[in-house]
Amino acid sequence: MRIDLTDEQYKALVELVTAGNYLINRYTEQEKREEIFDEVVERIYSGAERANCDEYFDTDDDDGSIKPNFNLADNVATYIYDYNYGFIERVLEKADLAKECPTLSSVDKDDTEDWFDRMYEKE
């Protein structure tokens, strides 16, 4: 299969597959990882030089392979942080409705906000 992308579209695809693979495989035990996703990510990364996407990759001195660098990780982390924060905001909104919904009555809005902030301080 062949897909023609502009350099800008390729960069967006790199961010998308990196974020997706992170969300699927980051906390999965090694033997349960979805290896097909890792393979797809590596295949996408292999086009970096042709797509003028050098700012997202470095070349490994030992084996010459292309490795994602801090710039890619930082951009993807921003998307993941925004997603997580939006999710927590929704939980907090529901916590405000706890009086009307017994299943949410044990959620403390202040504790949840503190937990979320502490989670990102460690990373």
DSSP label of 28: S
- In this prediction the pTM is 0.64
Gyration radius (Cα) of the chain, Å: 19
33 and 26 Cβ atoms separated by less than 8 Å? no
| Residues of the domain holding 82 | 76-123
Domain identity same for 58 and 9: yes
Domain identity same for 33 and 51: yes
pLDDT digits (tens, 9 = 90+) for 37-79: 878 888 898 888 888 888 898 888 898 878 888 889 888 888 8
Domain identity same for 62 and 87: no
One-character DSSP codes across 57-115: EEE-TTT--EEE-HHHHHHHHHHHHHHHHHHHHHHHHHHHTGGG-GGGTT--HHHHHHH
What is the residue whose two structure tokens read 């529901």? 94
Residue 118 has pLDDT above 90, yes or no: no
pLDDT digits (tens, 9 = 90+) for 75-114: 888 888 888 777 777 776 766 655 555 444 444 545 545 5
Report the domain count for the chain.
2
